[in-house]
A and B are shown apart, each in its own frame.
Chain A
Amino acid sequence: MWKTSMRFVLVISLSVLLCGCWDQRLLKEQKLILLLGYDLNSKGEIITSTTYPISKGKSGTSNAPAAPKSTILSTSGETAMDSLLHADLKISERIDISKAHVILFGEKAARKGIYPELDHIYRNPKGALSSKVAIIEGQVIDAVSINQEEADLNAQYYDEFLKSGIATGFYTNYNVQSVRPLLLHHTKDPLLPLLKLDRKHKRAVSVGMALFNNGKMTGKLSIPESKMYTLLSGEQKQKISFFVKSSHQIGKGRKNDVVVEILGGSQKTTVEVKNKSVSARISAKLQYRVTEYPKDQLTDPQVMSKLTHDIKTGLMKTAESMISQLQMANCDGLGLEEELRVHHNKLWKEKYRNINLREVPIKADLQFEFINSGIIN
């Protein structure tokens, strides 16, 4: 008994000792690419911009870890992986993209479709499926090499930037994996965060969301429209604030514009079919509170009813412009085709595969309910 198990131990330890560690990839021997940007150059090649942390000049015997610094590398190639292979030529250690926090796409690249660039991440067993995706208005290289002051590493900066954007409700919460079915499965389209750079102030700025159709970027939403989208698509139902300009300017004194914050509500997308023609209706019941109203005296019923009316018309306008933007871009972010496939399967198969949203009338119907006005009236 002992002899046999001894033999096994021997065989295993021999094989271990003789052959070594095939799959070992030591952390210290990798350059961890934390931020990845894809863009197209004029020749149609893919430019990949990467940043990775370097630990330079460890401060001697002091035990406090030095603040990490990152450096930037930009290479071009025929495909995303090809350009990374080129990057490998220029880096002292092996490159590793399994810990990428954020993947940025230039607008130009996004308009040609983002799935091909992500393919190598999906295919790699170590691919970073949970990294976030965002679109940059302009050149990605600028975004990657931004000299921001808020975080140690640019990757962290964008990660936090997008995270807070999601929390505030103007971005959808997609990562590499969750965007994938929408890129492949054409009954719903994704919307991805859109940023731009304010080079003067060394910051990134949110400008809204990029609209996609069949995996390609086709349009943009502004910030209020993005907020309205997250609200009406059911992505998020809380913590979204809107500024509404009132049409009833009373006197010249204080402004009576209002900022409301949505506290909750219910939302429903219905697709109606009449005589084989489709129309959609997005209805939402939203509860809100007023977070700013310089005019005060919200207890006055007259003021209140006027205000409610203002809020309703103001936000309806935003919703309508959001819908028309979606329609223009033919971006089915609200999942109308999916509704159609699920509830009117036959009709969908016959007629509405790859629905053209421009031909579908979409109506928004918003109801508002006042909850409170903060801790003063």
Chain B
Amino acid sequence: MKIDTQITKLQMFTFLIQTQIGVAFLSLPHEIHNYAKGDSWMSLLLTGVFMELFIIFYILLTNRFPKQHLFTILESVLGKIVGRCLTLIYAGYFLLTGTTILVLFVSMLKKWMLIYTPYWVILLLMVSIGIYIATENLQVIARFSFIATIVILTFIVVAPIAFKDGNLHYIMPVGDAGLMNIINGAAHATLAWQGMELFLLIAPFVISTGREKMKVFTLANLFITLFYAFITFTCLIYFSGNELVLLPQPVLYLLKSFSFTIIERPDLVLISFWIILVGTSFISYLYGASMAGAFLFKKWPRRSYVYLSAITCFVAALFFNSVQEITKLTKYVTYTGLIFLMVIPAALLFISFLFQKRQRGEIDVEN
């Protein structure tokens, strides 16, 4: 393994949170509110706890194969043919997620800021920044993610302004929605955690022990859970239930209703910042897809697969852009996401336990 491509623990942390926080979080309070009403924030905490379980699975898996990334693990556990097939499916999944990110991003941007700008132009902007950064090695991507994290901080700093006009009565009485609805809401929140699976890809490049990875991964999960819960909580106390039903992107609406002396409409600035968060998610998925490509066909360098995946996402996003298709796509991605986020890693772990498979010797991975 070349030292050049290793990343630090902090970079792993920021990479993970940047991958996970992307398009979904703007509409998260609305989505969960459909199920869990005023108790949506509890649903999110619940999802966080639930995800922690899978983090343990992930860590157990990577500890068994400390020098291997997802695709080589697939190969060692399931054999060459099945492993490679699954890698191909993974590549497809990454492309699908990348496409969904693009589609949702453009549709939101067209709603909120660039109403008349053609669809493909905005798409092109995002794809070009994706290619520009994803062609670089993991280290550069991680550095970029770190800087983008500053954006999340601005969201955290700005959102509490809503507390002043908030009304705690909106979320009371606590537990009104009922346990089933809360769990239902929690189940629908898993899409917001999507991106966690990329940990399996970057795990061998992180300079740390398995225990430290566990710590960092848990911290990242804690951060994300609290961040989502916090944003949702803010929206819940700022908007009444009847309002939230009408607002598909309550986070943006929340920002839109603030007004400062110098910047009268902070939402414009923060929507622009949000683009960076989407960008990092997209870059991460491009990276994942290109890794899969480079692993399957070693003939070309990874860079060329970045171009290929980006163009695939671009073309796919051009086709799926009506409202019905977007809902369909989102639904589809949520369910496939569940498979790739939970089922496959858990199954891998199970099989590797069952057949006592673990990494033998040094297997070098490149990125």
Q: A and B: direct contact (Cβ < 8 Å)?
A: yes
Seen from chain A, the residues whose Cβ lies within 8 Å of a Cβ on chain B are 4-5, 8, 11-12, 15, 19, 22-23, 125, 127, 129-130, 177-178, 180-181, 184-185, 335, 338-339, 341-343, 345
Nearest to A343 among chain B residues (CB) is: B173
**Across the interface, do A8 and B131 meet the contact criterion of CB distance under 8 Å?**
yes
Nearest to A181 among chain B residues (CB) is: B240
The answer, among B115, B125, B170, for a CB contact under 8 Å with A12, is B125
Instruction: Decide if B242 is an interface residue (CB 8 Å cutoff).
Output: yes
**Across the interface, do B116 and A23 meet the contact criterion of CB distance under 8 Å?**
yes
Of the A-B pairs whose beta carbons lie under 8 Å apart in the complex, a sample of 27, sorted by A's number, is A11-B124, A11-B128, A12-B124, A12-B128, A15-B121, A15-B124, A19-B121, A23-B113, A23-B117, A125-B113, A125-B256, A130-B257, A130-B258, A180-B243, A181-B239, A181-B243, A184-B240, A184-B242, A184-B243, A185-B170, A185-B242, A341-B172, A341-B173, A342-B169, A342-B172, A342-B173, A343-B173
Say how far B243's CB is from chain A's closest CB, in angstroms.
Answer: 5
Within 8 A of A (CB), among B164-181: 165, 167, 169-170, 172-173, 176
Nearest to B249 among chain A residues (CB) is: A125
Q: Which residues of A contact B118 (CB under 8 A)?
A: 19, 22
Nearest to A182 among chain B residues (CB) is: B240
**Across the interface, do B239 and A129 meet the contact criterion of CB distance under 8 Å?**
no
Instruction: Decide if B8 is an interface residue (CB 8 Å cutoff).
Output: no
Distance between Cα atoms of A127 and B259 in the complex (Å): 13
20 more CB-based (< 8 A) A-B contacts, given A125-B111, A185-B170, A341-B173? A5-B132, A8-B128, A15-B121, A22-B118, A23-B113, A23-B114, A125-B113, A127-B256, A129-B256, A129-B259, A177-B256, A178-B257, A181-B170, A181-B240, A181-B243, A184-B243, A184-B246, A341-B169, A341-B172, A345-B173
Distance between Cα atoms of A345 and B173 in the complex (Å): 7
Q: Which residues of B contact A127 (CB under 8 A)?
A: 256
Q: Which residues of B contact A22 (CB under 8 A)?
A: 114, 116-118, 121
Say how far B301's CB is from chain A's closest CB, in angstroms.
Answer: 11
Instruction: Decide if B241 is an interface residue (CB 8 Å cutoff).
Output: yes
Within 8 A of A (CB), among B50-100: none
**Across the interface, do B243 and A185 meet the contact criterion of CB distance under 8 Å?**
yes
Say how far A339's CB is from chain B's closest CB, in angstroms.
Answer: 8
**Across the interface, do B169 and A177 meet the contact criterion of CB distance under 8 Å?**
no
Q: Which residues of A contact B258 (CB under 8 A)?
A: 130
Instruction: Decide if B163 is an interface residue (CB 8 Å cutoff).
Output: no
Distance between Cα atoms of A101 and B112 in the complex (Å): 21
Q: Which residues of B contact A343 (CB under 8 A)?
A: 173
**Across the interface, do A178 and B165 meet the contact criterion of CB distance under 8 Å?**
yes
Instruction: Decide if B264 is an interface residue (CB 8 Å cutoff).
Output: yes
Q: Which residues of A contact B128 (CB under 8 A)?
A: 8, 11-12
Distance between Cα atoms of A172 and B128 in the complex (Å): 50
Interface of A is mostly: helix
Distance between Cα atoms of A181 and B257 in the complex (Å): 13
Nearest to B120 among chain A residues (CB) is: A15
- Say yes or no: A181-B172 contact (C-beta < 8 A), given A11-B124, A15-B121, A23-B114: no
Say how far B116's CB is from chain A's closest CB, in angstroms.
Answer: 4
Within 8 A of A (CB), among B235-280: 239-243, 246, 256-259, 264
Distance between Cα atoms of A345 and B172 in the complex (Å): 9
Say how far B352's CB is from chain A's closest CB, in angstroms.
Answer: 39
Q: Which residues of B contact A341 (CB under 8 A)?
A: 169, 172-173
Q: Which residues of B contact A181 (CB under 8 A)?
A: 167, 170, 239-240, 242-243
Within 8 A of A (CB), among B113-165: 113-118, 121, 124-125, 128, 131-132, 135, 165
Distance between Cα atoms of A342 and B170 in the complex (Å): 8
Distance between Cα atoms of A15 and B131 in the complex (Å): 17
Nearest to A8 among chain B residues (CB) is: B128
**Across the interface, do A130 and B242 meet the contact criterion of CB distance under 8 Å?**
no
Nearest to B238 among chain A residues (CB) is: A181
Q: Which residues of A contact B256 (CB under 8 A)?
A: 125, 127, 129, 177
Distance between Cα atoms of A342 and B171 in the complex (Å): 9
Q: Please name the 4 residue pairs, one residue from A and one from B, whose CB atoms are nearest each other, closest first.
A: A185-B240, A181-B240, A177-B257, A130-B259
Distance between Cα atoms of A342 and B132 in the complex (Å): 53
Distance between Cα atoms of A338 and B38 in the complex (Å): 14
Q: Which residues of B contact A180 (CB under 8 A)?
A: 243
Q: Which residues of B contact A335 (CB under 8 A)?
A: 169
Q: Which residues of A contact B264 (CB under 8 A)?
A: 130
Q: Which residues of A contact B121 (CB under 8 A)?
A: 15, 19, 22
Distance between Cα atoms of A335 and B246 in the complex (Å): 23
Say how far A60's CB is from chain B's closest CB, in angstroms.
Answer: 32
Say how far B109's CB is from chain A's closest CB, in angstroms.
Answer: 10
- Say yes or no: A129-B257 contact (C-beta < 8 A), given A12-B125, A184-B243: yes
**Across the interface, do B115 and A23 meet the contact criterion of CB distance under 8 Å?**
yes
Say how far B256's CB is from chain A's closest CB, in angstroms.
Answer: 6
Q: Which residues of A contact B111 (CB under 8 A)?
A: 125
Q: Which residues of A contact B114 (CB under 8 A)?
A: 22-23
Say how far A93's CB is from chain B's closest CB, in angstroms.
Answer: 18
Distance between Cα atoms of A59 and B301 in the complex (Å): 66
Say how far B34's CB is from chain A's closest CB, in angstroms.
Answer: 16
Distance between Cα atoms of A233 and B132 in the complex (Å): 56
Q: Which residues of A contact B170 (CB under 8 A)?
A: 181, 185
Q: Which residues of A contact B115 (CB under 8 A)?
A: 23, 125
Say how far B236's CB is from chain A's closest CB, in angstroms.
Answer: 12
Nearest to B264 among chain A residues (CB) is: A130
Distance between Cα atoms of A86 and B24 in the complex (Å): 39
Q: Which residues of A contact B246 (CB under 8 A)?
A: 184
The answer, among B165, B169, B259, for a CB contact under 8 Å with A338, is B169
Distance between Cα atoms of A351 and B135 in the complex (Å): 64
Distance between Cα atoms of A8 and B125 in the complex (Å): 10
